[in-house]
Chain A
Amino acid sequence: MKITEEIKALREVVIAGVGITKWGVFPDQEWYDFGSEAVLLALKDAGMEFKDVQTAFCGSCYQGVSSGHKVMAEIGKTGIPIINIENACSSSSSSLRLAYQMVATGLYDIALAVGFEKQRQKGFIPSMAYRPWERALGFNVQPASYALQTVRYMEEFGISVEDFSLVTVKNRKNAMLNPNARFQQPVTLDDVLNSRMISTPLRLLHCCPLADGAAATIVCSKDKVKQKKRAVTIAATTMMTGTYGEENISRSSAKFSGPTAHMIELAAQQAFEIAGCGPEDIDVLQVYDAMAPGEIWDIEKLGFCKPGEAPHLLREGYFDIDGKLPTNTDGGLMGRGHPMGATGLAQIIEIAYQLRGEAGQRQVPKAKMGLAHSLGTGPNSVVTILKK
């Protein structure tokens, strides 16, 4: 692949500073309040000022026109190019990717990537990603889309509801070690299995909670770094969208095996090739647990184990913080909460903290390399690999 050679030849780009706000439900705050807070935290972390930032990429889903401009207007009006990005749940990981490209190609030396979301509704999100007739038939229910895949996965691999319920138990336990997570209380397997049914076989505690929150990173060339100990290298950032047959099960006769299978595998393969490493080199992992069973097949599709193997590894504690491959160490979407436009960057920031050795009680010893994967309606898949 020629393109990966060209990417490898680009200059090294680092995340020089990170900022993340406390996530939860904040009726008195708007997205520009916590969005600007995250940016200021990232600047402070990097030892930089807003006037150092040369361009900004702002991810969100449902915040409306020029949402990023309103965030920056809380900080400074320096006239820099501000680009707003809506890419579903990969909005802010897409922001980071664009910031990376700008710096790697030398067009800018210091770029800002930020993601933010203020949730506006109770119950299911309207999920405008569906066509009008699909909404009229009541297809626009995210847990239902996952439920259809979950039933297939259970049929194919013979796994039980208990198997994927353990994802929630693990991630809620991890969230207790993350002061910024929305949820700070553990749940038991019984709690999960007895929670309200949402879309069979998925129950309330199989579904990630929404949240208000923001996350920001300062992306720059190595020579611009002010706090050397905090800088982590972006080893790869790749994006794939759905390939034929996986766009949507209702629109093709391609064998139904979950609408996003091929895309995730390709995004991961490209990322490993660019980073010059493999799954065995990853010390800490952030995957997409919007729904509990999703974490299981995400781990498998990214190449960390064989299809159908993750539920067994999960039971053995393989993905625990003290396990072989700690996964969703900050609580994941399930425990941290899911402000759609901010989640992608939060996953990446957790990897950065782990590589910096600043993850506190959830620190994975000697973490040198980590991978984050966000998955968005579209579908789209963004894989980011960071290294020390």
Chain B
Amino acid sequence: MVTAKKKQVPVLEGAWTVPSSSREKPQLIGSECPHCGEIYFPRKAKSLCVHCQREGLKDIKLSRRGTINTFTIIMQQPGGNYYHGPVPYAIGVVELPEGVYVETPLKADRLEDLTVGMEVELVIEKIWEDQATGTELIGFKFQPV
């Protein structure tokens, strides 16, 4: 007998830290090149730096806060049957202090209050739930501080 328990699936495996205590907060995990200093998010599956093309990328925990570089509020369901979240929804690019630009969903009580330059911080939470399969997609978002 299958129970109705929801299956939680991360949108990307290993893309953020999972806190071991309530004092800690999750951080995104990127890749850093020890040779040229380039930083990537999401972390690269291979250890090859696509900037300098040398081996040796290392994981790096990224800052939890950044600023909105650009954003858009999407008013219509995307094509294909891949996204099961609310519409309208906001996505944007958040610049972190490390110099990384992260394309990310944005969360706000009122999406129309989002502005370029706004300070935002990371949250890891449900992005959407697929009613048909009972699957919950867990992912990263940034929300105003």
Contacts and interface: CB of A to CB of B under 8 A. Distances in A.
Interface stretch (B18-26, B71-79, B118-126): B71-79
A373 B61 CA distance: 41
Contact of A138 (B38, B51, B101, B105): B105
Contacts of A127: 78-80
Contacts of B93: 148, 249-250, 256
Contacts, number: 127
B91 interface: yes
Interface residues of A, number: 41
B92 to A, nearest CB: 7
A347 B90 CA distance: 34
A253 interface: yes
A185 interface: no
A199 B73 contact: yes
Contact of B76 (A133, A198, A245): A198
B145 interface: no
Interface in A126-172: 126-128, 132-141, 143-144, 147-149, 151-152, 155
A251 interface: yes
B99 A140 contact: no
Interface in B23-80: 38-42, 50-51, 69-80
Contact of A148 (B51, B79, B92, B137): B92
B72 A199 contact: yes
B78 A133 contact: no
User: Which one of B12, B80, B105 has the greatest number of beta carbons of chain A within 10 Å?
Assistant: B80
A124 interface: yes
Interface in B89-117: 89, 91-93, 95, 98-105, 116
Interface of A: 121, 123-128, 132-141, 143-144, 147-149, 151-152, 155, 196-202, 244-245, 248-253, 256
18 contacts: A121-B79, A123-B79, A126-B79, A137-B11, A138-B74, A138-B89, A139-B91, A141-B76, A144-B72, A148-B70, A148-B71, A148-B72, A148-B103, A199-B75, A244-B50, A249-B93, A251-B41, A253-B38
Q: Which are the 3 A-B pairs with shortest beta-carbon distances?
A: A250-B103, A126-B80, A147-B72
